[in-house]
Amino acid sequence: MLNKYLPPLLLVFMLIITSAFTACGTSSESAPEPHTNNIPYKTTLTDNETRTFMSSEDGQAMEQAARSFTEAYLAGKHDEMRKYLITPEQKSNTFPSETEYQAVSSINLKTIVKDQKDEQQIVSMELASTDQDTLVYLTLQMKKQPSGWMIEYYGLEG
């Protein structure tokens, strides 16, 4: 009687063992990428002029460039950051390590648009962190280029 159940039980046992080895990390996969896309993101707009601009196609493009640059900055992806810089070879550009900002728990875009026709805007990306009680701001001086919104200058304040 046991002989007829032995092959299926053996198969189940083999599947369990194989799953356990895979779950324990015996595969040759590399370390996971930083998960900046999972960081909560919001936009805070305080006046009608800014709301109008940010809801326009131009404003949406500026926000997307600011957000993409910030995510690359937080993940330490230097090549990705350079794509958004007007002068990527500029010596004042600082590039963080891949793990420097792992404790960032939320990103909040803040900007005030004084003139919608101005092709230069200042954007502050407010960064809240799980390991600090203070907020840090990644300030982006953005300028519209023929290829889209690019960063002329950026700096960390806090």
CATH number of the structural domain spanning residue 127: 3.10.450
Domain enclosing residue 59, as ranges:
36-157
Q: Residue 23 falls within a domain, yes or no?
A: no
C-alpha separations of 105 from 30, 51, 64, 128, 136 in Å? 24, 25, 19, 6, 12
pLDDT digits 0-9 by tens, 23-65: 333 333 333 333 445 788 899 888 999 999 999 999 999 999 9
Q: Residue 125 falls within a domain, yes or no?
A: yes
CA distance 81 to 90: 13
Please, what is the average pLDDT of the chain? Answer: 77
Kindly report the pTM of this predicted structure: 0.71
- Total structural domains in the chain? 1
As given in the structure block, the two tokens for residue 53 are: 């601009």
